[in-house]
Structure 1
Amino acid sequence: MKPVFKSLRLAGVALALASGIAGPARAAEPVLSAVASFSILGDLVRQVGGERVAVEVLVGPGSDAHVYSPKPAQAKQVGQAPLVFSNGMGFDGWMARLLKSAGFKGRHVVASAGIQPIKGTADPHGHGHGHAAADPHVWQDVARVQTYVKNIAQGLCAADAAGCEGYRSNAAAYGQQLERLEQEIRQAWGAIPAEKKLVISSHDAFGYYASAYGVRFLAPQGVSTDSEASAQGVARLVRQIRQEKASALFVESISDPRLIEQIARETGLKASTAGLYSDSLAPQGEAASYLGMMRYNTRVMIAAIQGR
């Protein structure tokens, strides 16, 4: 090979390597590790953190954070983490004990900080006189999740100042997706007559959704799946379903289906074959992300009301 052609060839290889043409670019290695209490929150942290943050979730898809008991290995994991995210409002009430037992020395971010909780229905379990408990299921209102995203970005910035510009950019982009989702859900329910907007679910997890989108929800259990449904309460619910001719009956993905099956037998109302995702993402499929879960829930509820 003549020297001039050899030089040109080597120069071309060098240019290709410099421009990334010679092969696929390697993904950036995460520089920050974070732990999130449950799957929905974990997805939100990943959206804001991007490739810079490695996120581990304690209560994975399909599991119930209300009644969760952390494993010893997770205590070690939390103890070594620089950043932990929890929902707050009593949803992941075991987190405080876990942080203490793990000797956690990092930064704890409560994603719902600054949000005024609404009250759920009267919950007799663990609340002495059946007073209404604070409803922790804030993520069921898309607009309020903007506060989650803001709190997550602030927590990431505090732990990793060098990545703060990226976190803020990710939060802003995701915030726009949330705005579009909010409009979609409002538009979808806008086509349904007010008297038809009635959904029966396993536990009182949709209060924020109800408030935001004008849908009524009835449930035999309170805001926690650890609450007990009384016989009188179930009988009252059965009467109400018959009187109001409800058409949408759902079992939630994290709930024991037997109570809803009993209500279905007593009312003659068939439970939808499509479950609702209240406190957990799906392991895979459409509802495996927060945005997808909210779209899925909205679609299947409206389909049940319309008899499809």
Structure 2
Amino acid sequence: MTSRRLLLSAAALSALTALSAAPASAETLKVVASFTVLADVVREVGGDHVHVTSLVGPNGDPHEFEPSPADAKNLKAAEVTFVSGEGLEGWMDRLITASGYKGKPVTVSEGISTRTMEEDGKTITDPHVWNSPVNVKVWVANIEKALSSADPADATVFKANAEKYTRKLDELNAYAHSKFDTIADDRRKVLTSHDAFGYFGREYKVSFLAPLGLSTESEASAADVAKLIEQIKGEHVKAYFFENSNDPRLVKQVAKATGAEPGGELYVESLSDAKGPAPTYEKMFRYNVDQLAAAMAKSS
């Protein structure tokens, strides 16, 4: 009996020693991201130390998003909030006011070399920075910094995750170049729903023509559509794509008038659900590259 007690006491002491020697682990951070693409990248950097809620859901349009009371509740409870910025989340200020959220969202696109374009006589910054993995590397650095500030105890984990994911982004960039660099310049032209592939086009020398501007909230005039049709005919654009988060009717109308052939669906500013082809940023980017490269090779 005595020896059994001694054994039990030794086991208990050993367990207590192990617990005291274990490194202190911070609580899981409650994090909110504005839309699914950003939420996925935050999860990659945060790993098991973050619980991420995306305000805009899968296949949702971040331009036309209408927040719900549940979104306000999630935002108010967040310890860290991430937005892409550059005018993408026009609804965020209203949601912050309505929710009573006291923090300041982290703008992950800060530091990216942005592009501008003319729209309705105004110079506008293109917010769709994530369509180049080179830009997402800046996201990763900003996310790591914000998470480490909120949870210093796990900073080394965030740093390791960020470095690992940055290497993956370099691989994605190299993959896209391997697909497009062999295609003749005059074949790197496609028709899409709205002008969301500017950074992709800049990185891989692909021309994207679109009836809508930077935001899906804008409307294309009859004159703009007619001008686009003539441009597509003149430049011999052979393929068109519609987007998972947008109404495809207008791009199909333009395609019918020009004879462009369907290339499929692209995931531009929203991931698919778990069963779709683009449930993560990595899979979304590879899927888009494969779809576009296949259409261009076919037109060649």
One fold, TM greater than 0.5?
yes
How far did 1:244 drift?
Answer: 1.6
Q: Distance in 1 between matches of 2:26 and 2:288?
A: 35
Q: Tell me: CA distance 1:106–1:224, structure 2 relative to 1, closer, same or farther (3 Å).
A: same
How far did 1:41 drift?
Answer: 0.2
Identity of aligned residues (%): 41
Counterpart of 1:103 (choices 100, 103, 111) is: 100
Q: Any conservation in 1 of the 2:242–2:251 contact (CA below 8 Å)?
A: yes
Q: Any conservation in 2 of the 1:199–1:247 contact (CA below 8 Å)?
A: yes
Task: Map Cα deviations across residues 166-224 of structure 1 (whole Å, 9 max, x no partner).
Answer: 00110000001011111111111111011100011100000101111111111010000
Alignment of 1:156-195 (within 5 A): 156-195=147-186
Please list every run of 5 or more consecutive structure 2 residues that lacks an aligned counterpart in the other structure.
16-24
Which one-letter code corresponds to 1:257 in the other structure? Answer: P
How far did 1:289 drift?
Answer: 0.7
Alignment of 1:78-157 (within 5 A): 78-120=75-117, 122-124=118-120, 130-157=121-148
Alignment of 1:37-52 (within 5 A): 37-52=34-49
Q: Any conservation in 2 of the 1:156–1:167 contact (CA below 8 Å)?
A: yes
Match of 2:234 in 1: 243
Q: Distance in 2 between matches of 1:173 and 1:248?
A: 36
Q: Distance in 2 between matches of 1:106 and 1:239?
A: 49
Partner SS for 1:204:
coil
Q: Distance in 2 between matches of 1:97 and 1:117?
A: 25
Does structure 1 residue 72 correspond to structure 2 residue 63? no
Does structure 1 residue 281 correspond to structure 2 residue 271? yes
Which one-letter code corresponds to 2:102 in the other structure? Answer: K
Match of 1:264 in 2: 255
Counterpart of 2:58 (choices 51, 57, 61) is: 61
Q: Tell me: CA distance 1:202–1:30, structure 2 relative to 1, closer, same or farther (3 Å).
A: farther
Partner SS for 2:190:
strand
Q: Distance in 1 between matches of 2:77 and 2:289?
A: 39
Give the TM-score normalised by the residue count of structure 1.
0.86
How far did 1:144 drift?
Answer: 1.2
Q: Distance in 2 between matches of 1:307 and 1:188?
A: 13
Give aligned pairs, total: 282
Q: Distance in 1 between matches of 2:71 and 2:110?
A: 24
Match of 2:246 in 1: 255
Alignment of 1:287-298 (within 5 A): 287-298=278-289
Give the TM-score normalised by the residue count of structure 2.
0.89
Partner SS for 1:66:
coil
Which sits farther off after the overlay, 262-271 or 199-208?
262-271
Task: Map Cα deviations across residues 221-257 of structure 1 (whole Å, 9 max, x no partner).
Answer: 0000001111111111111111221112011111111
Which one-letter code corresponds to 1:61 in the other structure? Answer: P
- 4+ residue runs of structure 1 moved beyond 2 angstroms? none
- Superposed CA RMSD in Å reads 2.2
Q: Any conservation in 2 of the 1:61–1:283 contact (CA below 8 Å)?
A: yes
Task: Map Cα deviations across residues 108-166 of structure 1 (whole Å, 9 max, x no partner).
Answer: 2111112232113x333xxxxx3232100000111111110000011101111111110
Counterpart of 1:218 (choices 187, 200, 209) is: 209
Q: Any conservation in 1 of the 2:134–2:169 contact (CA below 8 Å)?
A: yes
Q: Distance in 2 between matches of 1:58 and 1:30?
A: 22
Q: Distance in 2 between matches of 1:302 and 1:180?
A: 17
How far did 1:48 drift?
Answer: 0.2
How far did 1:29 drift?
Answer: 9.5
Partner SS for 1:101:
helix
Match of 1:23 in 2: none
